[in-house]
Amino acid sequence: MSAAFENLPGRLRIVVLGYLVRGPMGGMAWHHLQYVMGLRDLGHAVYFLEDSGDNEYCCYDPARGVADANPEYGLKFAADCFARFHHDEKWAYYDAHTSRWLGPCAGRIPALLKDTDLLINLSCSNVLRPWFDDIAVRVLVDTDPLFTQVRHLTDPARMALAKRHNRFLTFAENIRSDNCTIPDDGFPWIPTRQPIVLEAWPVTPPLQTGKFTTVMQWDSYPALEYRGRTYGMKSKAFSDYLDLPRKCGPIFELAVGGVSAPRPLLREKGWQLSNPNQVAKDPWSYQRFIQQSRAEFTVAKHGYVASRSGWFSERSAAYLASGRPVVTQETGFSDWLPAGQAVLSFKTPGDAEAAIDDVNRRYELHCSTAREIAKEYFDARKILPRVIEEAMGSFRV
């Protein structure tokens, strides 16, 4: 433990590496911010750092609808987020294109890293520059299971980056199960899940006009192939469920992104569509969208389902925390998360219809159970101490 905290037993200096400036959208922001907020609330000194990487198309600007190397929009987005969550002095962004650190703690990075006990690289979303080498514990958190492991086995650069870490956590909660078919990439993965800062997600009364909603990318990236099998995106999983509005009524709303999304077909089938750049413009609009929903209906990436990974969405966890039921495609998560009340899983269109009917018939019960499941399974005060314990291990002194 660093000298700065030797008089505070158990307190650590932690650097969280994330994707906020480059991906300034509400859902992504909540995913990363809840690690920062949750670790801070446990009493640790937490800093958020981000690296542009070397790709000239690194920064997405939804206002201009382009991706380039200009971080201006993302820097303002990050500053607004951190100010709102009272963390406005402890973050910085490294712009590799100009070789400059930007942000409130840009001028003290060497001193900051010298005394850092633990580094957490969320989603392997940042390269590890040489200045991180002296941090003894470097954790990789895999939030995209199956696809992460296949990339390691097929892309030497991704494998090399992963090897710069020495602790490995994954959202594939079934990765140690014989029923999980994620290929072995040689890393000792330990299951974990999204922490939810419950105080930031109050339960609000549902609207009478609320729909079954979700926020999704139709195709996040091209399907991957490995040993003769193709692992697809949500687009592949969704095709079996296109006719649900005809069978269940006009009760669905999708905030769907991606140029490949078949919007005319979805509208024709009865899906109400919203623009994710508006719905998820920032953390608060994203949260309002969830709070104004009756429940979530969502599919999972085909690869999560096909590998029986046990993955469960951080977005779905936020619905639960808000007191909203979740109807979601089975990935094997029912091995560890109780399904039947608040969380209703499906494998077929018939299963989905039955689950939606159940939510509507027993709505109050499902809503009250949702928050309890969030408390039991996703509370940051339970998840993050386990992350630290798994990470530090023999490194503790």
pTM, whole model, 2 decimals?
Answer: 0.95
Give residue for tokens 């140690």. 176
Q: Mean pLDDT over residues 185-200, rounded?
A: 98
- 22 and 115 share one domain: yes
Segment 42-57, tens digit of pLDDT: 999 999 999 999 999 9
Write down the pLDDT at residue 208: 86
Mean pLDDT of the chain: 95
- DSSP states of 248-296: H-S-EEEEEE-TT--HHHHHHHT-EEE-HHHHTSSHHHHHHHHHT-SEE
- Please tell me the total count of domains within the chain: 2
Question: Does position 215 have pLDDT exceeding 60, yes or no?
Answer: yes
pLDDT of 279 above 80: yes
Shared domain check, 207 and 157: no
Task: State whether 204 and 183 are in the same domain.
Answer: no
Residue 347 one-letter amino acid: K
Residues 161 and 295 in one domain: no
The answer on 255 and 172 residing in a single domain is no
pLDDT digits 0-9 by tens, 288-347: 999 999 999 999 999 999 999 999 999 999 999 999 999 999 999 999 999 999 999 999
Average of per-residue pLDDT across 115-133: 96
For residue 9, what pLDDT is reported? 57
Model pLDDT, residue 394: 53
Task: Locate the DSSP E strands across the chain.
Answer: 13-17, 45-51, 59-61, 66-68, 91-95, 100-102, 118-122, 137-142, 167-170, 190-191, 212-217, 224-226, 229-231, 252-257, 272-274, 295-298, 326-329, 343-346
Question: Looking at the structure, do residues 184 and 205 belong to the same domain, yes or no?
Answer: no
Mean pLDDT of 87-103: 97
Which CATH number belongs to the domain containing residue 106 in this structure? Answer: 3.40.50
Let me know whether 289 and 391 are in one domain.
no
Checking if the pLDDT of 3 tops 90, the result is no
Q: Please tell me the predicted confidence (pLDDT) of residue 1.
A: 43
Q: How far is the C-alpha of 385 from the C-alpha of 316, rounded, in Å?
A: 22
Q: Which two tokens stand for residue 349?
A: 């269109």
Residues 227 and 308 in one domain: yes
Question: Whole domain around residue 364: which residue ranges?
Answer: 198-377
